[in-house]
Amino acid sequence: MPSRSRNESCWCGSGKKWKKCHFPKAPPLNQNQLALDYLKKYQIILKTPEQIAGIRKACQLTSQILDKVCKKAQAGVTTRELDGFAAQLHKEAGVIAAPLYYGHPPFPNSICTSLNEVICHGIPNDIPLKEGDILNIDVSCILDGYYGDCSRMVMITPVSLERRLVCEVSYECLQRAMQILKPGLLIYEIGEAIENYATAQGCSVVNQFVGHGVGVHFHEAPQIPHHRNRLQIPLAPGMIFTIEPMINAGRREGVIDPSNQWEARTIDNRASGQWEHTVLITDTGYEVLTLL
């Protein structure tokens, strides 16, 4: 039991009544119960309003950095230069680059740059971009302990029909997947929407990498497969996760580069495209947290 009354002045010294200042606000009981159920059953963290506000800010900064880095991606520029520019933007914004030193072996850079046949987790290098290249730039930031994650394709035009196709199909897959989001949707319906569209366009869907819960940690439950699957977990308000379909022109299989244990290339060296957003499930639908 609280030993002070709601009408006493707040402990913080603001002079305001406690109830108008730092009185602890409990979320509605049924939301509380749902959060406990999701944690226990699926290890999914349904975010509180306070966490959502923090993650929203992190996502906006992440998307702003991605936008600026994409504008620099032109013929003649190296991905290492893009990485350096991104590192500087992270510093100026007061955010930490989540990929830097992440995982085993530690990821060596601030952003992922995945070129042409690289599916994901590409490591920046000294090769200048040139006409005909397609590049995925993936930015993930930590702001005040909260995470945001998004990526986009950049085309160094003119590009071949096949490369353009994977850029456009992966974009459309992400849009279609987001448009159906609402509480009660089952996770497998996301993969179904993506694989139905991608295969109708003659492309394949990567199944070795998935979207993921995000916000309090970089990679949280649940996994969000982009391929056809059977995950019967209903979406619930307060869930935050990424959708990041990787779409190949040829075979879906990837091979991880043994020299760095990060970069995944298509097994047939054909083109791969990917777009990523972080989304929040709301009471009535969804909000794209990384949309500017």
> How many whole angstroms separate alpha carbon 78 and alpha carbon 141?
22
Place of tokens 């690289």: 118
Look at the chain and count its residues: 292
**C-beta of 29: minimal distance to Co ion in Å?**
33
Q: How far is the CB of 84 from ligand MF3 (least distance, A)?
A: 17
Can you give the C-alpha Rg of the chain in angstroms? 21
Question: Shortest approach of ligand MF3 to residue 40 CB, angstroms?
Answer: 25
Shortest reach from residue 213's CB to Co ion, in Å? 10
Alpha helix stretches (DSSP H) within 135-291: 161-179, 188-200
Distance between CA atoms of 85 and 92, rounded to whole angstroms? 11
Contact criterion met (CB below 8 Å) for 248 and 119 = yes
**Cα end-to-end distance, the chain, whole Å:** 44
User: Does residue 103 interact with ligand MF3 by CB under 6 A?
Assistant: yes
Question: Residue 121 interacts with ligand MF3 (CB under 6 A)?
Answer: yes
User: What span, in angstroms and rounded, lies between the C-alpha atoms of 102 and 122?
Assistant: 14
Considering only 18, 42, 107, 147, the residue that binds ligand MF3 (CB under 6 A) is: 107
Q: Is 242 in the site for Co ion (CB under 5 A)?
A: yes
d(CA 50, CA 56): 10
Distance, CA of 37 to CA of 235 (rounded, Å): 13
* Least spacing, CB of residue 161 vs ligand MF3, in Å: 27
The reply on whether position 114 binds Co ion by CB under 5 A is no
Out of 85, 89, 99, 246, point to the residue binding ligand MF3 (CB under 6 A).
99
Rounded-to-integer distance, Cα 42 and Cα 39, Å: 6
**Per CB under 6 A, 102 contacts ligand MF3:** yes
The site map against Co ion for 35-54 (x = CB under 5 A) is: --------------------
| 138 contacts ligand MF3 (rule: CB under 6 A) | yes
When the beta carbons of 23 and 218 are compared against ligand MF3, the nearer one is 218
Interface characters, 228-267, with ligand MF3 (x: CB under 6 A)? ----------------x-----------------------
Minimum CB separation of residue 246 from Co ion in Å reads 11
The residue from 117, 133, 149, 263 that contacts Co ion (CB under 5 A) is 149
Non-local (6+) Cβ contacts of 191 within 8 A are 205, 224, 225, 226, 227, 228, 229, 231
Pick 10 or 221: Cβ nearer ligand MF3: 221
Query: Is 128 within 8 Å of 76 (Cβ atoms)?
Result: yes
Q: Which residues bind Co ion (CB under 5 A)?
A: 149, 242
Q: Which residues bind ligand MF3 (CB under 6 A)?
A: 99, 102-103, 107, 112, 121, 138, 140, 149, 151, 212, 244, 276
